[in-house]
Amino acid sequence: MVSNDSDRGGGAGKESHKPRIGITTYLEPTIWGVWERDAALLPRVYLDSVVAAGGVPVLLPPVGTDPTVLELLDGLVIAGGCDVDPASYGAAQHPETVDTRPGRDEHEAILIRAALDADLPLLAICRGLQMLNVTLGGTLQQHLPDRVAHDEHRPSPAVFGQTEVKVEPDTLTGRLFGDRSTVACYHHQAIDVVAPTLQVTARAGDGTVEAAEVTGHDFAIGVQWHPEENPDDLRLFTALISAANKAARRNQ
């Protein structure tokens, strides 16, 4: 494990390390081989995306939460996953809100706040964007088809929808994606009331918030889509690694 600043690239004559990117994980009942136990897990596509962009993935399970772990990291990814517990934003539970994990919500909220306080580069994906919004004081639309009257954001179980998003100019999102992009979505929840410090930077044609950035930070962005599902488009992960390198040099 890392134990001193020289290991992080600050020592004279030492080669800088690849950026270490923490990724939050699921804690789920899991079966492998002869075993049936709770396990921390994460789809491999997240790991591959970080590695392909030039980083080293570090898994952050939702147990034993300690925000000081971020001192060992150069960037943070809040991964997708289950529905956010509506109690975390003061709402009653919708019938379509299922499989919530309040412990994971609390874990990720702690890490989000710590990352923003430290100005650590932050990428929040799908549920991650929802957690970013809730952590900063926003709320969620618990079942998006109630509002948009279609299922195109989550066409069927384990099938990603293809969503065209319109991107705001003069934003980080705009610099990465131009004015429009087609992205892979799989969600039935979305941002409702936008948190005060979030700037919406992309929307789907039906008005659904698809990206947002935290004002006052160089790299704190959330997307409602799943960039890890497209290995030929590493723009978000490459930008995260670039921001992590800059932050690491700044902190040497």
Model confidence over 28-46: pLDDT tens digits? 999 999 999 999 999 999 9
Q: Any catalytic annotation for residue 82? A: no
pTM: 0.92
pLDDT of residue 7: 45
Dist. CA 227–CA 246, nearest whole Å:
22
Q: How many domains does the chain have?
A: 1
Write the CATH number for 212: 3.40.50.880
Dist. CA 127–CA 124, nearest whole Å:
8
pLDDT of residue 17: 86
- Of residues 108, 210, 213, 228, which has the active-site annotation? 228
- Of residues 108, 187, 226, 229, which has the active-site annotation? 226
Q: Any catalytic annotation for residue 108? A: no
Domain of residue 205, residue span:
5-250
205 pLDDT more than 90:
yes
pLDDT of residue 15: 56
- Contact predicate 126/186, CB 8 Å: yes
- Of residues 126, 185, 188, 229, which has the active-site annotation? 126
Q: Any catalytic annotation for residue 126? A: yes
**Average pLDDT in the 136-145 region?**
98
pLDDT of residue 13: 40
